[in-house]
C-alpha cells in the first residue's frame, strides 16, 4: 500500500478494528512548564482509556526520561474522545496537528516526539500521512513541520495489518524517523489472535525499546528504518 490511500480509508479501516474495553488507569499528562522544553512528547491514547496519555504512553515516557541525557521533557496528551465512535479520531488528528504546528512555530529549537497507541496510533498515522483535508481532518501539517519532529513511536498500529505495512513505509516525511511496534500476535496490528498482547506493550518491553530508539534520535543518531518489534 502507498500514501495515496485517502485518509478517510486510513481512519475508518484502522480505527474500526481497535479493541475497546481497555479502561486502564493512567496518570495524567505532565503539565506544560511555560518555557520551551528540550523535548515535547505528543501522545494519543488508545480506545477506552481515560483522558491523559494512557498506560502505554506513560510507560513510554517513563522509559524515555532517564535516557534523554538530562533534557527537559514536556508531555501533551492529544485531546480526543478515544471512544468507539472511530470517526472522531479525526478530532485527535486535528488537535495533535495544531499543537505540533504551534510548538514548531513558538519553540523552533524543541525536538518534537509523536506517539500513539492503538486508535491513538491511527491518529498519528493521519497527521504523518495526510497531505490534504478529508473526513473531518482539516489541519494537515505543512511539510516543513517534519523538520521539527525528531522521532515517532507508535504501538499496536492498525495500519500494519489493514494497510499492508507500518508507518515507516506509509510516510515519506516521517517514516525514516519512526518506530512502529506490534506485540507478537496482537490482532490489531498482525494476523494473530493473542488479544491479551494488545494491552501488554509496557510489560513486553516494547515501550522501552521505543524509548531507546527515540533517545537515539534525540542524540542525533542515524535514522533506523528496520522494524524489530513486529509480530
Indicate the helix (H) or strand (E) that contains 100. helix 89-106
Output the DSSP codes for 29-91.
PPPP-SSPPSEEEEEEPPTTPPSSSHHHHHHHHHHHGGGSTT--EEEEE--S--SS-GGGHHH
Q: CA dist 117 to 47, 75, 76, 171, Å? A: 9, 15, 14, 17
**Catalytic positions, please?**
118, 186, 198
CA angle 211, 167, 216 (to 5 degrees): 25
Amino acid at each position: 500500500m502507498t500514501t495515496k490511500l485517502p485518509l478517510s480509508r486510513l481512519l475508518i479501516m484502522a480505527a474500526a478494528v481497535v479493541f475497546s474495553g481497555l479502561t486502564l488507569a493512567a496518570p495524567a499528562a505532565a503539565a506544560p512548564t511555560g518555557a520551551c522544553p528540550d523535548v515535547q512528547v505528543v501522545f494519543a491514547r488508545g480506545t477506552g482509556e481515560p483522558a491523559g496519555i494512557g498506560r502505554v504512553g506513560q510507560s513510554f515516557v517513563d522509559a524515555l526520561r532517564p535516557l534523554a541525557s538530562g533534557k527537559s521533557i514536556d508531555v501533551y496528551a492529544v485531546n480526543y474522545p478515544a471512544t468507539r465512535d472511530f470517526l472522531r479520531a479525526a478530532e485527535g488528528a486535528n488537535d495533535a496537528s495544531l499543537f505540533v504546528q504551534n510548538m514548531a512555530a513558538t519553540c523552533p529549537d524543541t525536538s518534537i516526539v509523536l506517539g500513539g497507541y492503538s486508535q491513538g496510533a491511527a491518529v498519528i498515522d493521519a497527521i504523518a500521512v495526510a497531505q490534504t483535508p478529508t473526513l473531518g481532518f482539516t489541519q494537515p501539517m505543512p511539510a516543513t513541520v517534519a523538520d521539527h519532529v525528531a522521532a515517532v513511536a507508535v504501538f499496536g498500529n492498525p495500519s500494519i495489518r489493514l494497510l499492508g505495512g507500518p508507518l515507516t513505509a506509509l510516510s515519506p516525511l516521517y517514516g525514516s524517523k519512526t518506530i512502529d511496534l506490534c506485540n507478537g500476535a496482537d490482532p490489531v496490528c498482525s494476523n494473530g489472535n493473542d488479544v491479551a498482547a494488545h494491552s501488554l506493550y509496557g510489560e513486553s518491553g516494547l515501550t522501552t525499546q521505543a524509548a531507546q530508539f527515540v533517545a537515539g534520535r534525540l542524540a542525533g543518531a542515524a535514522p533506523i528504518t528496520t522494524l524489530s518489534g513486529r509480530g
